[in-house]
Amino acid sequence: MNLNTKKLFHDAEAGGYAIGQFNASTADQIKGIIGTAARMRAPVIVATSEGECAFIGARQVVKLCEAYEEEAGIPIILNADHTYKDAEKIENLDKIKALLTAGYNSIHFDGSVLSFEDNVRWTKQVVELCKEKDPGISVEGELGFLPGASEVSEKKVEIKPEYLTDPAQALEFVRATGVDRLAVSVGNSHGISFQEDRLDIERIGKIKEAIGDHAVLVLHGGSGIPDEQIRAAIAHGIRKINVNTELRVAFHGALKEVLTTTPQTTPYKFFPPAIDAVARVVEGKITVFGSGMHA
């Protein structure tokens, strides 16, 4: 798979657009994601959380993305999303070693539950491990805390001021760790809740100003954020945006509809509406992110 991931983010920086990260756990969702990106000539990031990866299989998703990359002719980044989210059994970074062996070309190490010092220490080790394997592998660190999970929730998600990423600390973090990308807490949250996220655009601008070209900025929790806020975030320096919940909702809704309204039992006949539903979400996001015609 494409190992020049740094160049892709460099191009996004130069072009002032954001590359979409779309999470998936089945081949059908991946078909919808990559098919759309290929049609729109957009560089694309397919991602698996730890749960999604455990379901589809690390080696399996790598091979699938490799096959699509050859066929579609667009660069595909395969990112391991939120690795070590709960900071459990982190000691020898076995999970990351296994993902690199399987062929992932991008790692997101989530040390956001750790103290600043431990987050720096572990993130730095992850960067070293990845660069040893291949300098082209792109590594994302996370600073600040993001509440919520990739689901639709009735609960109010509280974003406390202490969760937010501090611009000066962001510079210290990227300098000390050498990460290629930095995920930030700027009013965003995972999932869709009844109250919309309100991004702190000014903070995004300040973080960008502080870190300069040391790393590219990443916005997690891309579902449920109004398009005009996303556009403003990109204008202030966001270069990668993660989307999961909206894809899950679209896939599930379309599948439920087809299974309850037709007697269809043939998978290759009942999956296409769900794949199309994923494709429509991806198309909308790529349009807002401005990444089309850049691959």
11, 28, 81, 166: the catalytic one is 81
3-state secondary structure of 268: helix
Which of 105, 223, 239, 290 touches ligand 13P by CB under 6 A? 223
Tell me if 36 contacts ligand 13P by CB under 6 A: no
Which of 190, 203, 206, 285 touches ligand 13P by CB under 6 A? 190
Positions 132 through 151 that interact with ligand 13P (CB under 6 A): 150
Question: What are the C-alpha distances in Å from 163 to residues 14, 144, 187?
Answer: 30, 5, 9
| Annotated catalytic residue 81 | yes
Positions 234 through 253 that interact with ligand 13P (CB under 6 A): 242-245
Give the residue with the Cβ less far from ligand 13P, 132 or 231.
Answer: 231
3-state secondary structure of 192: strand
Which of 95, 181, 220, 240 touches ligand 13P by CB under 6 A? 220
Tell me if 29 contacts ligand 13P by CB under 6 A: no
Pairing of strands 152-153, 216-219: unpaired
| Rounded Cα gap, residues 79 and 218, in angstroms | 13
Which of 32, 187, 191, 237 touches ligand 13P by CB under 6 A? 191
Task: Kindly state the number of chain residues that form the binding site for ligand 13P, as judged by CB under 6 A.
Answer: 14
- Look-up: residue for tokens 């043939």? 266
Give the residue with the Cβ less far from ligand 13P, 82 or 181.
Answer: 82
Q: What is the DSSP letter of 40?
A: T
| Rounded Cα gap, residues 36 and 59, in angstroms | 23
Tell me if 11 contacts ligand 13P by CB under 6 A: no
Give the residue with the Cβ less far from ligand 13P, 31 or 220.
Answer: 220
| Rounded Cα gap, residues 82 and 47, in angstroms | 10
Stated as kind and residue range, the H or E segment containing 33 is helix 27-39
- Region near ligand 13P per CB under 6 A, out of 119-127, 219-227, 229-237, 265-273: 219-227
| Rounded Cα gap, residues 273 and 280, in angstroms | 10
Are 147 and 186 a contacting pair, CB within 8 Å? no
* Interface contacts to ligand 13P, rule CB under 6 A: 23, 81-82, 150, 190-191, 220-223, 242-245
Residues marked as catalytic: 81
